[in-house]
A = this chain, B = another copy of it.
């Protein structure tokens, strides 16, 4: 019998918890990052029914060789109450997607979706500081992105969501993070912005729509789409045809994974940008 090299009795565990779970990419991507950094560790998928969430997590959090958890749909909000301590962005967003134990054995949680977006821009040598941002979508992902950007000191964030109340709530949260930012609610606009960000589901999978009406975007605007599949959404196709720089959802995911693994390695010390 051959043996395998990638799991042994000494392997440290990380898990992504969601329902359903088959579609997640963290097992491959986070495990690759952990292994690249020299850890004998694996991130496994854990499929938990919502009704079982509390009971299963109470058990998992006692596993001695489990060092970190990632939460995905539909658990990012309910996971908030599991953490003994929360990072600033987790409190402001009202959700977490990663949790690890600090040196005292306490579980600390934070949210990295938005940080992944900021990191993706940083890898293109682009900073949010002083920039004018148009953010489409103020749901789970949009809220996390809005809060993460607010910590970077942009000059303005204009927010659109099909549910206006969500846009208003996010604008209010952003103002509380940094009152110097002009945080306003408005329709999607490609004029007078430096960065155009889509965090809405419009354009996902087989949805052929773009979240903007314009068929042309000023070429100096950098366009980002949080959607991972398809890689090039209708919005990104319009941006590319317009000569804009584009940043893909996959880049946000990579940025986020690097930051989450940093967080795991540092026992919950956040290394925001």
Interface residues of A (CB under 8 A from B): 1-11, 13, 16, 19, 21-29, 31-33, 35-36, 42-49, 52, 55-60, 62-66, 254, 257
Residue of B43, B49, B66, B254 near A64 (CB, 8 A) is B49
Taking A1-B33, A9-B16 as given, write out 6 further A-B residue pairs in contact, using a Cβ cutoff of 8 Å, ordered by the A residue number.
A5-B28, A6-B7, A9-B21, A11-B27, A45-B65, A59-B59
Kindly provide the distance from the CB of A17 to the nearest chain B CB, expressed in whole angstroms.
Answer: 9
Can you identify 26 A-B contacts, CB atoms within 8 angstroms? A1-B254, A1-B257, A2-B32, A3-B28, A4-B6, A4-B27, A5-B28, A6-B7, A7-B31, A8-B25, A8-B27, A8-B28, A9-B16, A9-B21, A9-B26, A9-B45, A10-B45, A11-B27, A11-B44, A42-B44, A46-B65, A46-B66, A49-B64, A55-B58, A55-B62, A56-B59
Contact A4 B32 (CB under 8 A): yes
Contacting residues, chain B, for A29 (C-beta < 8 A): 1, 3
Best-surrounded residue of A42, A48, A64 (most CB of chain B within 10 A): A64
**Copies held by the complex:** 2
Q: In the complex, A10 Cα to B27 Cα: how many Å?
A: 9
Q: In the complex, A3 Cα to B250 Cα: how many Å?
A: 13
Contact B64 A48 (CB under 8 A): yes
Contacting residues, chain B, for A59 (C-beta < 8 A): 52, 55-60
- Identity of the chain B residue whose Cβ is nearest the Cβ of A63 in the assembled complex: B46
